[in-house]
């Protein structure tokens, strides 16, 4: 029998005595275990031969000089342990270096293809009990109107969504009335223009995608309604993108109409740098630095993508509070109901 039968029969998963009894009745456990052992030994031998071949090639690659040959002969006739361990450590070093180079190359190619990873910023509304800064939303809408609305749209946002968040109802109505909206048809079947109202969407800069591409040299400015949800790590990405414009590094040339931004996939973006210090005059007197404008417009876009954010968190807090009260009530009722049963004493009168 093979060595497996001295402890256990792996084919029938039976102890030695039972497997021996089965072998006497013509069981093929002996053949199966012998085949398994030969397969395992052959695989181990192939692995040893492959490692030895790699070590020999690595050792012979550095033995081309007379000094290296003399050192090799001295090692062969001298310390055998050093000869045995030397190629192993050299092989490990070579493999580590190759792995590090491969990882670095993959990281560089990924950064060039998908853009540099945006740093993480401490947004004040990301806390569990935090809400949006409504003053920042109003300033961000002002930045969007004066800077971004020339090319980008926010199709999912209506004027009525701004009421109670960034503007009063009268302010939102006045803002909507400043825009002429195409409506109709009328009784004569003709389209007509009318002043905007709260139910109207924020106006789009272009009528269709073709007009937007023609005006921007073939590039299509995306809609910003869900931009912070449509991009990975959206808020940090948009903020880093707005402030990430710089001169291209040495050896990289940008064709006409493109600008270098390492946070954009590929590094070449058709949108020029739009933010500048004091480029917007805030109504509340806040200093309109470049970073402040980027922070405010990102806050506005984050709210536009998730306008129910504050209400959802408030409702979650209410539910957690209600469930906590219910849990305490259920625990008290359980103790009140079971305390007499658990504390009762049973006395057996064996005499009577």
pLDDT at 58: 52
pTM over 0.85: no
pLDDT at 317: 93
Question: Taking the alpha carbons of 96, 97, 98, 99 in that order, is the dihedral positive or negative?
Answer: positive
Decide if 126 contacts 302 (C-beta within 8 A).
no
Decide if 250 contacts 243 (C-beta within 8 A).
no
CB atoms under 10 Å from CB of 297, counted, come to 27
195, β-bridge pairs: 180
Q: Residue 102 contacts by C-beta under 8 Å, 6 or more apart in sequence?
A: none
In the three-class reduction of DSSP (H, G, I as helix; E, B as strand; rest coil), residue 259 is classed as: strand
Burial status of residue 293 (CB atoms within 10 A of its CB: 0-12, 13-18, 19 or more): buried
Q: Residue 191 contacts by C-beta under 8 Å, 6 or more apart in sequence?
A: 182, 183, 184, 185
Decide if 206 contacts 215 (C-beta within 8 A).
yes
pLDDT in tens, 221-274: 999 999 999 999 999 999 999 999 999 998 888 888 899 999 999 899 999 999
pLDDT at 29: 44
pLDDT at 31: 39
Residue ranges of the chain whose pLDDT lies below 70: 1-41, 43-44, 47, 50-51, 53-114, 352
pLDDT in tens, 266-306: 899 999 999 999 999 999 999 999 999 999 999 999 999 99
**What is the total residue count of the chain?**
352
Distance, in Å, from the CA atom of 339 to the CA atom of 336, rounded to the nearest integer, reads: 6
CA distances from 33 to 37, 39, 42, 295, 334 (A): 6, 10, 14, 70, 60
Buried b (16+ CB within 10 A) or exposed e, 124-148: ebeeeeeebbeebbbbbbbbbeebb
Distance, in Å, from the CA atom of 57 to the CA atom of 199, rounded to the nearest integer, reads: 77
């Amino acid at each position: 029998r093979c060595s497996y039968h001295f402890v256990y029969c792996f084919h029938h998963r039976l102890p030695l005595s039972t497997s021996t009894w089965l072998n006497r009745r013509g069981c093929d456990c002996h053949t199966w275990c012998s085949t398994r052992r030969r397969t395992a030994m052959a695989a181990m031998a192939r692995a040893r031969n492959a490692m030895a071949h790699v070590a020999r090639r690595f050792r012979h690659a550095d033995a081309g000089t007379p000094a290296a040959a003399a050192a090799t002969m001295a090692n062969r006739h001298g310390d055998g342990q050093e000869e045995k361990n030397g190629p192993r450590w050299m092989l490990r070093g070579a493999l580590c270096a190759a792995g590090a180079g491969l990882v670095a190359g993959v990281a560089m190619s990924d950064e060039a293809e998908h853009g540099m990873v945006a740093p993480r910023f401490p947004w004040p509304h990301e806390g569990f009990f935090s809400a949006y800064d409504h003053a920042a939303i109003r300033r961000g809408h002002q930045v969007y109107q004066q800077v971004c609305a020339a090319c980008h749209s926010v199709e999912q946002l209506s004027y009525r969504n701004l009421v109670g968040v960034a503007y009063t109802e009268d302010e939102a109505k006045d803002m909507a009335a400043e825009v002429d909206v195409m409506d109709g048809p009328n009784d004569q079947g003709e389209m007509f223009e009318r002043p905007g109202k709260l139910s109207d969407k924020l106006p789009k800069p272009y009528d269709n995608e073709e007009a937007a591409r023609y005006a921007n040299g073939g590039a299509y400015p995306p809609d910003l309604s869900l931009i912070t949800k449509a991009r990975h790590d959206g808020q940090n990405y948009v903020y880093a993108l707005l402030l990430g414009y710089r001169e291209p590094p040495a050896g990289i040339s940008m064709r006409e109409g493109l600008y270098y931004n390492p946070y954009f996939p590929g590094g070449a973006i058709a949108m020029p740098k739009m933010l500048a210090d004091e480029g917007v005059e805030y109504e509340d007197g806040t200093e309109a630095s470049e970073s402040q404008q980027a922070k405010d417009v990102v806050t506005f876009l984050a709210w536009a993508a998730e306008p129910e954010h504050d209400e959802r968190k408030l409702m979650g807090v209410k539910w957690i509070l209600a469930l906590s009260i219910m849990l305490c009530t259920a625990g008290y009722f359980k103790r009140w109901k079971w305390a007499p049963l658990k504390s009762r004493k049973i006395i057996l009168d064996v005499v009577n």
